[in-house]
Amino acid sequence: MIAVVQRVSHSSVKVDGSVVGSIGKGLNILLGVVEEDTQEDIAKLVNKIVKLRIFSDACGKMNLNIIDSGGAALVISQFTLAGDVKKGNRPSFTKAKEPKEAKQLYLEFIEALRQYIPVECGIFGASMEVEILNDGPVTFIIDSKRL
């Protein structure tokens, strides 16, 4: 799994002009599910995300994790994170997991994350408009295969 994790002041997602998910302070997580991903990848990624100390403490140092900061997460499916742009100019998505299986892992990721913090989400496979007010900016790309 590949996640783009952004510390945000607020973030929201619209489908067909209607807001389907919205958070204040917390994390915007763009999640890509790749061919070889399993529940083990979910566990590793969730564990890393909830423990990342990327929120400021009283002294202004990035010392708090999402749980300590009282934040929430907005999780958006984004299969383009599995895109390969090495060859030619048109991205290849052959490394992306088949949609039915990817959706199941996406939903399991959300449920695993909800064990720790409040989570809002987009709609898997929908065309979405995502509003992100990145705080910092603070952005990390986390690949479960590298944890």
How far does the chain reach from its first CA to its final CA, in angstroms? 11
* Gyration radius from the chain CA atoms: 15
38 assigned to active site: no
Q: How far are the Cα atoms of 5, 87, 101 from residue 46, in angstroms, in the given order?
A: 11, 32, 18
55 assigned to active site: no
Among the listed residues 55, 79, 109, 124, the single catalytic one is 79
Among the listed residues 78, 104, 109, 139, the single catalytic one is 78
Transcribe 95-130 into DSSP letters. TBPPHHHHHHHHHHHHHHHHTTS-EEE--TTS-EEE
The token pair at 65 is 């994790």
Among the listed residues 38, 39, 80, 93, the single catalytic one is 80
- Active-site positions read 78-80
